[in-house]
Structure 1
Amino acid sequence: MYVKIFMIPGREYMIKLFWSCFIIMLALSGCGWDGTPTRNNDFIPLTSIEITAVSQTIAAHTSTKLTVTGNFSGLFTRDITDQATWTSNDATVANFAIASVPSRVTGLIPGNAVLTATVGSVSSTFNLTVSSATITTVTVTPAAPSLAQGLSTQFSASGTFSDLTTQDLTFDATWASSATTVATVSDAVASKGLVQTLTVGTSTISATFDGVSGSTLLTVTAPALQSIAVSTTNSPVLSLSSATFKATGSYSDGSTADITAQAAWSSSNTGVATIASGGAAKTLSQGTTTITASLDGISGTSSLKVTGGKLSGITLSAANITMVNGNMTLVKDIAVRMTATGTFDNGSSRDITGAVEWSTGSSTIATVTTPGGNLAWLTPLASNSTTVSAKSGTLTATTNLTVTALTLQSITFSPGSINLAVGTSAPLKVTGTFSGGTTQDVTFSSTWSSNTAAASVGNTGLAKGVVSGDSAGSATISASYGGLTITAPVTVVTRTLQSLALNAAVTFSVAAGNQVAFTATANYSDSTSQDVTEDTVWTIDKPGVAILADSVNQPGQAVGVDSGSATLTASFGGKTQTLTVTVP
């Protein structure tokens, strides 16, 4: 009968086990998985060291660098050369004479020397033989190199001796450059053979040892492109808009240059954005793409984030014109402003007039011109029928246009008179009545003038009919169209501005891609008020959150871009009003 007896470890045994595990953990904490130390070890004792060199024999007057490898209790090894102190048993044969490189030994005369390295209490020796071989040739490498201006590179010198041995002489040779304005070569202990190019040209780089020289011809070429930095002033940006990228090249001579025009541009996701020469990007749908600029084999990148959704529909409208079932009728020769409104798959909508391609079915019947921004003019030229279309990608919106030739009967102003404060403006509208009772806005087809300096009136583009109060007094504004002329009186008065008000709460929320219109109202000391939206200077501090839709053609209108908060500032007459625009 056998009886198994289980022994419970005693307290002394458990303590020994704990400390054994603790020591092993500390040892491993200083090592990587391959046994290489990940940090300096100050716990595991150094048990031995080994001295190594390229060769145990060197020629007199040359030197070699020694390396010390420490073994730490058999657990790991590492280079500890910088911790060693050195001695030679015969300083007349070989000695450590270079203070800045204490591990480099120089052979002085033929013979043997025992070199000792000591780290703490651990020592090791190395037997060095100094031969009597004499130098026969010196070779400098690289051979016939070409290097761009501004770059530096290390040259090496090797010597062949009378005993047919070869030895690195980079440290022992004396270095020189034949044309120091083209390139310099260092002869300093810490950087022997290091060449720095300065200007385009050639220079002979030579290394001399014991009266024997070797050389190579260095050709310094024009500065080489080293890197490209790609930048943009606006990211993120809305879909169906544009972004401008810039490429800056950094060259080997330390200079930089704008290489936007020379670089080749590409987009990693052309469904999100495309980019043309010159760094002009066109955004298409929501997402992220990488924009790359390349030149001379060097590339740089920048990420572009596009927000605002993907276009899902286009709606056309004409200012002051009623469309019936997609049809509109215009009087010949009277231009109207067209607008294309885009709806997007994220539920947002905004003016995309400047982002679509406009066309008509017949350019002899009607044409569309786009001066810039969100502005498009439709001009009917001949009595007939055609179509007007706006296209973006695969989506097209079309309306039918009928052009009629009617006889003008009369023109009228709206309003009939204007009262303005100095420094403000207000629009006058001219309506033409034609044969058959047809009426149409002819404001932008009229010719405008003012008879005094008290008020001026615009006579080009969207400024047509906009009256500005320049100084206190009275003026008569005239509008002429179709051989008829009408006038409207304008009174300009001096008022004291008390406050500026915006038609929104202090904090206003707008979805990314949505367009909203703000108005600014000036309140004066005489209890009058006036809409000064067109006269106000509008700014937004964070274009990555919200932007102005079109500061020229749509003052006071903003579009949400990406989540965050931005400050919309309205400035007029020395007064400033702000509100926070939040994009969820």
Structure 2
Amino acid sequence: MIKKLLKLKLILLVLTSLLLVSCKNDNDTNEDHSNISTITITPKEVPTQGISGYVLRPAQRLELIATAENRDNTTQDITKYVTWHITFPEAAKMNGSTVVGIDIGEADISARYNGIESNDSIHIKVAYGKIKNLRITPAVTSISKMLPVQLNLTSVFRDHTTANISTRRWSSSNEDVASVSITGLVTPKKVGETTITARKGAKKATAKIIVTDAKLEKITIFPLKLMVPIGKKTHLTAIGTLSDHTTLKLNSSVTWKSEDEKIATVSNQGEITPKKIGRINITATKDGISGTSQLEVISAKIAKIMIEPTGKIETPLGREIQLTTSGILTDGRKVQNLATHIRLLPTNAATMRYEIGKPAVLVPLALGKATVITSLEGDKTASSTITVTPEVLERITIIPEGNTTSIPVNKTLQLTANGIFSNSNKPKNITNVAWDTTRYDIISLNNKGKIIPLKEGSADVIATKDSIQATVTITITIESEE
């Protein structure tokens, strides 16, 4: 019998251990963001340092990391959860958690999550810096006389970074073979050779170009098949194959066409703007040769969800809060009142009330914090932390002695202030009330709410506490009331 009991205890011990391990693993895989106190953003790799902060070149990229500091002094990476904000998108833009230099200028970048703003922003300066040398890109050596080619001027800076920079100083050594515009567009004219030169300041770059009689034989659009949600812009790329087996990008040289512009439009650079659900072909054509990409436009999907209200939420004891879930679609639109279940994590500070067809309601019970969470489609989650604060005064009523507001000039009247608080509808006497009147020539009023009539007339008496006010009109008569 004893052996059986020992064996049973051993089995129970093993099962308990396995359960604890399982719970621990579950906790490890579900990150808890309810304990965040501050957010710090830092670059993954420190770029060039300048007087104004981090310095990027146009087109240079810098990956950022958002780290949450918890109240228990632990930290966690929340980069994939935060929303990034940039003050001057003309200078730089955010691509996910990566900032990309656009043009000369400066911008501040901050991150926000669950109503918490990052402690400090990162100041980005986009500048050219000191140029070491220049080169012309792409590095083409031959082009067809049938196809213009767009060249760019790329600068190599002294810190070894590179970026495409602008210049209007382009020239061709043989205009009969090919000309070049102030934007770097080379237009071939006949078979032959020419040297294209681009200058920036005292520096220059050259590229020897051979114009051939190769002809365009094929156009291929990448991707060949594409599925995008309504409103989500995307780009197609047209690649031309020539008779000499060379290939080149043709986006600005072809004529783009949408099979149905009610479903999606396409710009002259190959940018797709989906408008409604459907399937169409997008074609790129030049010199009678076309390429096709199959486009399917699907309904806009929810990219992110959040619990409303957002931001730092505080509510006093007794004041309930309605909670709903909203979402941001892939086309940037916001949708309200998503059908999700908002759940309260274990706490003594509040409870939840649910009614069919109505928003979830958080009911404060005690001082402390309450964290609610929700999820959608399994991979989209949101959480919000509500702080329950002490009860607050919501309304004041003034009670005159004897429930009368009319007194003779030779009598006094004591006023009492009762307060209605957020956690109870039952009035209770309040102290430290500020008493005031609109007519000190008619009545005298002390700081306890006692009225001494001075002459016949009417005066308003105001009681104020915590910015809450109540008013009562007092009438002073000449004759004594029996």
Say whether the 8 Å CA contact 2:232–2:330 is kept in structure 1. Answer: yes
Q: Which residue of 1 aligns with 2:217?
A: 136
Tell me: CA distance 1:578–1:62, structure 2 relative to 1, closer, same or farther (3 Å). farther
Q: Deviations over 1:336-393 (max 9, x none)?
A: xxxxxxxxxxxxxxxxxxxxxxxxxxxxxxxxxxxxxxxxxxxxxxxxxxxxxxxxxx
2:278 to 175, 192, 201: 201
Q: Which residue of 2 aligns with 1:304?
A: 386
1:581 to 442, 456, 466: 466
Q: Deviations over 1:13-35 (max 9, x none)?
A: xxxxxxxxxxxxxx975996999
For the residue of structure 1 that corresponds to 2:466, the secondary structure is strand
Gaps of 5+ in 2: 1-48, 61-123, 436-458, 468-482
Tell me: CA distance 1:85–1:270, structure 2 relative to 1, closer, same or farther (3 Å). farther
Say whether the 8 Å CA contact 2:316–2:422 is kept in structure 1. Answer: no
The alignment status of 1:95 with 2:189, answered yes or no, reads: no
Say whether the 8 Å CA contact 2:318–2:422 is kept in structure 1. Answer: no
CA distance in 1, matches of 2:429, 2:288: 82
What one-letter code is carried by the residue in structure 2 that aligns with 1:89? S
Q: Deviations over 1:309-339 (max 9, x none)?
A: xxxxxxxxxxxxxxxxxxxxxxxxxxxxxxx
Say whether the 8 Å CA contact 2:417–2:429 is kept in structure 1. Answer: no
Q: Post-superposition shift, 1:54?
A: 4.7
The alignment status of 1:227 with 2:304, answered yes or no, reads: yes
2:405 to 515, 521, 524: 524
Q: Which residue of 1 aligns with 2:335?
A: 257
Tell me: CA distance 1:85–1:148, structure 2 relative to 1, closer, same or farther (3 Å). same
Gaps of 5+ in 1: 1-26, 308-511, 540-546, 559-565, 569-573
Q: Post-superposition shift, 1:146?
A: 1.7
What one-letter code is carried by the residue in structure 1 that aligns with 2:135? E
Q: Which residue of 1 aligns with 2:127?
A: 40
CA distance in 1, matches of 2:369, 2:173: 70
Q: Post-superposition shift, 1:255?
A: 4.2
Flag the structure with larger Rg. 1
Q: Post-superposition shift, 1:123?
A: 1.7
CA distance in 2, matches of 1:576, 1:104: 82
CA distance in 2, matches of 1:34, 1:521: 69
Q: Post-superposition shift, 1:125?
A: 0.9
Q: Deviations over 1:23-54 (max 9, x none)?
A: xxxx9759969999955367x5x453222315
The alignment status of 1:159 with 2:232, answered yes or no, reads: no
For the residue of structure 2 that corresponds to 1:181, the secondary structure is coil
Tell me which of the two structures has the higher relative contact order, counting C-alpha pairs closer than 8 angstroms and 6 or more residues apart. Answer: 2
For the residue of structure 1 that corresponds to 2:190, the secondary structure is coil
2:423 to 536, 542, 549: 549
Say whether the 8 Å CA contact 2:321–2:361 is kept in structure 1. Answer: yes
2:258 to 158, 169, 177: 177
Say whether the 8 Å CA contact 2:180–2:187 is kept in structure 1. Answer: yes
Tell me: CA distance 1:517–1:197, structure 2 relative to 1, closer, same or farther (3 Å). closer
Say whether the 8 Å CA contact 1:516–1:557 is kept in structure 2. Answer: no
Q: Percent identity?
A: 22
Q: Post-superposition shift, 1:186?
A: 0.8
For the residue of structure 2 that corresponds to 1:237, the secondary structure is strand
CA distance in 1, matches of 2:376, 2:257: 35
1:56 to 132, 137, 141: 141
TM-score by length of 1: 0.46
CA distance in 2, matches of 1:78, 1:567: 69
CA distance in 2, matches of 1:117, 1:567: 78
Q: After superposition, where does 1:233-312 map in structure 2 within 5 Å?
A: 235-238=313-316, 242-253=320-331, 255-260=333-338, 262-267=339-344, 270=347, 278-283=359-364, 286-296=367-377, 297-307=379-389
Say whether the 8 Å CA contact 1:567–1:581 is kept in structure 2. Answer: no
CA distance in 2, matches of 1:515, 1:258: 32
Q: Which residue of 2 aligns with 1:114?
A: 195
Q: Post-superposition shift, 1:179?
A: 0.5
CA distance in 2, matches of 1:148, 1:576: 63
Q: After superposition, where does 1:144-543 map in structure 2 within 5 Å?
A: 144-187=225-268, 192-232=269-309, 235-238=313-316, 242-253=320-331, 255-260=333-338, 262-267=339-344, 270=347, 278-283=359-364, 286-296=367-377, 297-307=379-389, 512-513=390-391, 519-521=397-399, 524-527=405-408
Tell me: CA distance 1:202–1:520, structure 2 relative to 1, closer, same or farther (3 Å). same
Q: Post-superposition shift, 1:120?
A: 1.4
CA distance in 1, matches of 2:165, 2:264: 34
For the residue of structure 2 that corresponds to 1:259, the secondary structure is coil
Tell me: CA distance 1:556–1:142, structure 2 relative to 1, closer, same or farther (3 Å). farther
CA distance in 1, matches of 2:188, 2:429: 83
What one-letter code is carried by the residue in structure 2 that aligns with 1:221? I
Tell me: CA distance 1:567–1:154, structure 2 relative to 1, closer, same or farther (3 Å). farther
CA distance in 2, matches of 1:216, 1:118: 39
Q: Deviations over 1:136-182 (max 9, x none)?
A: 22122222222212221111111222222222112211100011111
CA distance in 1, matches of 2:434, 2:226: 58
Q: Which residue of 2 aligns with 1:66?
A: 151
CA distance in 1, matches of 2:370, 2:291: 54
TM-score by length of 2: 0.54
Say whether the 8 Å CA contact 2:319–2:423 is kept in structure 1. Answer: no
TM-align CA RMSD: 4.5
Say whether the 8 Å CA contact 2:223–2:236 is kept in structure 1. Answer: yes
CA distance in 2, matches of 1:110, 1:268: 75
Aligned length: 321
Tell me: CA distance 1:285–1:150, structure 2 relative to 1, closer, same or farther (3 Å). same
CA distance in 1, matches of 2:255, 2:465: 70
CA distance in 1, matches of 2:211, 2:350: 70
Q: Which residue of 2 aligns with 1:499?
A: none
What one-letter code is carried by the residue in structure 2 that aligns with 1:86? W
CA distance in 1, matches of 2:217, 2:149: 19
CA distance in 1, matches of 2:434, 2:211: 79
CA distance in 2, matches of 1:228, 1:243: 19
Say whether the 8 Å CA contact 2:221–2:237 is kept in structure 1. Answer: yes
What one-letter code is carried by the residue in structure 2 that aligns with 1:235? I
For the residue of structure 2 that corresponds to 1:281, the secondary structure is strand
The alignment status of 1:124 with 2:211, answered yes or no, reads: no
Q: Deviations over 1:295-320 (max 9, x none)?
A: 2444444332223xxxxxxxxxxxxx
What one-letter code is carried by the residue in structure 1 that aligns with 2:277? V
